[in-house]
Structure 1
Amino acid sequence: MPLPSSIDDAIVLDGDSVFLAHPMPFSYPETLGYLTRSNEEVLHRVTDDGRILKLLRIKDLPLLVELAHEPDRDGLRIRCLSGSCASERLREAAGYVWDWFGLDADVEAFYRMAARDPVLSPLILRHSGLRIVGVPDLFEALCWSIIGQQITLSFAYQLKKRFVQTYGDSLEYEGERFWSFPDPAVIARLSADDLRPLQFSRNKANFLIGVAREVAAGTLNKAQPELRGGFDAAVVRLTALHGIGPWSANYALMRCLRYPEAFPIQDAGIHQAVRKLLNLDAKPTLAQLRELYAPWAGWEAFATFYLWRSLSD
């Protein structure tokens, strides 16, 4: 079948499953590599044979899906495992996956730029087809950016797991339990004292609850003109939230709102990757990072994702 230019061209419904054709380049193994970077991940499960199981909430109802790659057809088979398998819910599930795996992005344009760059060119050859694996839900993206502030990635995953398993919804399937991210309305009703036993600092607890209250009240959502009207306006809107600084805002703009110029310059992973790739004696300064990233203007988010990936090389 011809390569899809949009999700409307990509979906073929088939009983209790939907086939989602993916544009090229796309690497399913690279995607799995990112999804399996932590054993503490609680929001999806990757099987030994490479299938992905994830509990979604579609129209406020649970839907457990299984994703399997069909490389001979350049696509993904999304199968309904539990919950209503109505065609409109399968379409929404396919839309989630399209967003989650960044299938709308013009990766080839990034590659044309990166192929001329001495730092990025080896990375795009080594990890060809890697796309920015995103966080489609804005509340989840902002929570993850708050949880990850000033702690190690491994501890951030532990905190997220406790948060999800305490306040998220779950579903049991074939003896295993699957979880979805907490509803903002649930978190909005909490106090900081409720989150402290999970090892959240009081500040982080208040930040999470504050964002939850904005989302639950409808004053913050992904479709807002302030978030869709350009990168600078989106940064202003997010950094107006209590607890969302430039790093958290750029993280959410990169992984949820899909701004290619998003650049979380304070990110420790960027610093580690650049120090490793350039054989620096110390972590780079912000001035050095700005100089390095200058030729990548407009593609900072993609460069960042590939730098993160290089940490596993």
Structure 2
Amino acid sequence: MISAVQQTRIDVQGEFDLAASAQFLEGFTPAARPDAADESGTLRMAFPAEGRWEPVGVRIRQERPGEIFVDTEDPVVVEQVRRILSLDVDGRDFAAVGRADPVVGALQSRYPGLRPVLFYSPYEAACWTIIGHRIRMTQAARIKQRIAEEYGQTIDVAGRQLASFPAPAVLAGLERLPGLSELKTERLHAIAAAAEEGVLEAAVLRSLEAEDAMEQLRRLRGIGPFSAELILVRGAGHPDVFPRNEQRLHAEMRIAYDLPSADAAELAQVAERWRPFRSWVALLMRTNAEVRANS
């Protein structure tokens, strides 16, 4: 047990359920985190602190609605946790999207308090896109976890040993990576260099118009339109992007809205109803599709 732990309280704006986030993280293949939470709903994370890149571990708890406690007073880490759990966005108007769109309202009722749970940083999201290119997601998750265990740092987080993904400088110095081709290794080195240079900083990406941010991301080696969307939405946490290249989302929308022949442009028009939470609704759509596929 951790004694005399310094804590920070995060006040939540809008509905949020940490247990729902933990359940999502446990089932989210890229995270490969079946140990993410315990029976009490406590969530544990280990990751490189963005910008400084030293590995940190945090325990996160929710004792009552509207209040989250994080076992750190480090403002950089607290802000990163807020972003990872989408608590840096005022969600008080999210319910209004569901009232205006019955499809969204049904999803909100089915998954109450679920907000997007992000990769720990845009850097790690970008690494995932390179690792996972043209291989099965489960295989990519195993490779990513092995890299964390072999080249990252293991941290004791409230009694559990968690491996933090290696910092950019560490990743850049690795000549060979398990299960990855020379090309993918070279592209990971380019991602590490971009992270060191601040190109992948979440605050910078969020400060740009979405299209400008994705254009900047597409300049990186190995990052195409789909990957750029993923990094911006699931890494930087932009709350209002419609993923135009996410085919599984589009398939779910065609089912949900009974639009079997709708193309991406037509679905983007449907998603205009979701503003300013298009990324959040897309997450609920994808979650519902995965739950149905596994049931």
The more displaced of 246-255 and 136-145 is 136-145
**Aligned twin of 1:77:** 69
Q: How far 1:124 moved relative to its partner? A: 1.5
Q: How far 1:37 moved relative to its partner? A: 0.5
For normalisation by structure 2, the TM-score amounts to: 0.82
Conserved? CA contact 2:249–2:285, under 8 Å: yes
CA distance in 1, matches of 2:255, 2:230: 22
Partner of residue 64 from structure 1, selected from 57, 65, 70? 57
Q: How far 1:62 moved relative to its partner? A: 4.2
* Closer/same/farther in 2, CA of residues 94 and 159 from structure 1, 3 Å limit: same
Matched, 1:300 2:292: no
List aligned pairs for 1:1-313, cutoff 5 A.
16-38=6-28, 41-42=32-33, 45-58=36-49, 61-71=54-64, 74-79=66-71, 87=73, 89=74, 91-172=75-156, 176-191=160-175, 194-195=176-177, 198-216=178-196, 218=197, 220-222=199-201, 228-274=207-253, 276-277=255-256, 285-296=263-274, 298-311=276-289, 312-313=291-292
For normalisation by structure 1, the TM-score amounts to: 0.77
Q: How far 1:239 moved relative to its partner? A: 0.5
CA distance in 2, matches of 1:276, 1:199: 37
Q: How far 1:170 moved relative to its partner? A: 1.2
CA distance in 2, matches of 1:230, 1:43: 35
Q: How far 1:154 moved relative to its partner? A: 2.3
* Closer/same/farther in 2, CA of residues 79 and 204 from structure 1, 3 Å limit: same
Q: How far 1:46 moved relative to its partner? A: 1.3
CA distance in 2, matches of 1:207, 1:149: 11
The more displaced of 199-208 and 95-104 is 199-208
Conserved? CA contact 2:59–2:157, under 8 Å: no
Matched position secondary structure for 1:233: helix
Q: Indicate the structure (1 or 2) with the bigger Cα radius of gyration.
A: 1
Q: Which has the bigger relative contact order, CA under 8 A and spacing at least 6?
A: 2
Matched position secondary structure for 1:178: strand
Matched position secondary structure for 1:107: coil
How many residues align? The count is 285
| Percent of pairs with identical residues | 24
Q: Which runs of 5+ in 2 are unaligned?
A: none
| Aligned CA-pair RMSD | 3.1
Conserved? CA contact 1:251–1:262, under 8 Å: no
CA distance in 2, matches of 1:136, 1:223: 10
